[in-house]
Amino acid sequence: MTLGLINANPVVHAKKERVTRAEHPHSDNAVDPLDVFDSVRDIRDPEHPYSLEQLSVLSEESIIVDEKLGRIQINFTPTVQHCSMATVIGLCLRVKLMQSFPPHFKVSVWFLL
């Protein structure tokens, strides 16, 4: 049995230009939303050959970092409300964050409708 795509024709946006930093601005190894976004922006959608950034599933504005409390929160929005891949996307984001940042950070991934 062949299953159809949940969102056969997603809207694809242009990728933002990567911000290059001459010197890392965080002398104390602090993490900011841009660091987090750069680590997850190229994760591919499970259904399409596009990144989550290109599908506007996540953006730098959807990331909250609280360095004092050691929290990283990502809010992502699936391309359709009834997306059955939202759990897979959330797990991919969570694993990537846990692999990319120190273990003292509490990682939260939320999906918004």
Tokens encoding 13? 């946006």
Confirm whether 6 is domain-assigned.
no
Confirm whether 2 is domain-assigned.
no
Report residue 38 CA to chain centroid gap: 9
Q: What is the pLDDT of residues 26-74, one digit of tens each?
A: 556 789 999 999 999 999 998 889 999 999 999 999 999 999 999 999 9
Confirm whether 81 is domain-assigned.
yes
Quote the CA–CA distance of 94 and 40 in Å, as a whole number: 9
Please give the pLDDT value at position 1: 40
Confirm whether 89 is domain-assigned.
yes
The boundaries of the domain holding residue 94 are: 43-111
Neighbours of 13 (CB within 10 A): 13
What mean pLDDT do residues 83-99 have? 94
Point out which residues pair with 111 in neighbouring strands. 76
**Is pLDDT above 80 for 111?**
yes
* In contact, 89 and 76? CB cutoff 8 Å: yes
Confirm whether 70 is domain-assigned.
yes
Q: What is the pLDDT of residues 2-17, one digit of tens each?
A: 456 667 667 777 777 7
Neighbours of 51 (CB within 10 A): 18
pTM exceeds 0.75 for this model: yes
Q: Evaluate the CA torsion angle 8, 39, 108, 91 in order and state its sign.
A: positive
Domains held by the chain: number: 1
**Is pLDDT above 60 for 25?**
no
CATH code of residue 56: 3.30.300.130
